[in-house]
Amino acid sequence: MRFISTPDAPIPAGHYSQGVVHGGLVFVAGQLPIDPRDPSREPGPIEDQTAQALANVRAILSAAGTSLDRVVQMTVYVSDVSLWGKVNAVYSRVMGNHRPARAIVPSGELRHGMLIEIQAIAAVEATGPEAAA
């Protein structure tokens, strides 16, 4: 296993890694819409929050040696199902023609009053010990 840490995504606030590479996959921990360059910045409307959460996922994927176009599955947690349309519009724009498996889960209140959290699993070229796993 290889643990991913990048300053280009929010620093974990608990006992977890931003991402873990194992068996040719990278597992990205749930990403809130926190700007790693200015963590105290207000997150804004759901469209801005969706874009920032996806940017954080992208940064972790990049640190793992992969990208959004190699995502095989995403789980999107939203504080209210009524946000689904706006989330999907931004998600579609960012993801383009790539359509990984996805779930959107209405979750109720999220940490720090955020409206969205996104986690992902992506293919990555395995090297070193994880290649044999």
Q: What is the mean pLDDT of the chain?
A: 93
* pLDDT at res. 129: 53
Q: 2-131: which CATH number, 1.20.120.1780, 3.30.1330.40, 3.40.50.720, 3.30.365.10?
A: 3.30.1330.40
Q: Which is higher by pLDDT, 112 or 104? A: 104
Tokens matching residue 113: 């009053």
Query: Computed over its alpha carbons, how large is the radius of gyration of the chain?
Result: 14
Give the residue from 54, 4, 48 showing the smallest Cα distance to 25: 4
CA distances in angstroms from 91 to 13, 33, 74, listed in the order given: 25, 13, 11
Q: What does the pLDDT read at residue 132?
A: 47
Q: Where are the domains of the chain?
A: 2-131
Residue 127's pLDDT is: 56
pLDDT digit string, tens, across residues 33-44 = 999 999 888 889
pLDDT at position 65 is 97
Burial of 125 (0-12, 13-18, 19+ CB in 10 A): exposed
- Give the pLDDT of residue 108: 86
pLDDT of residue 55 exceeding 70, the answer is yes
- Of residues 118 and 106, more confidence is placed in 118
Paired tokens of 18: 């931003």
Q: What is the pLDDT of residues 66-111, one digit of tens each?
A: 999 999 999 999 999 999 999 999 999 999 999 999 999 989 888 8
pTM of the entire predicted model? 0.91
Say if residues 117 and 30 touch (Cβ distance below 8 Å): yes
Q: Two tokens at 98? A: 């790539």
Residue 20, Cβ neighbours under 10 Å: how many? 17
Mean pLDDT for the stretch of residues 22-48: 95
What is the C-alpha to C-alpha distance for residues 105 and 94, in angstroms, rounded to an integer?
19
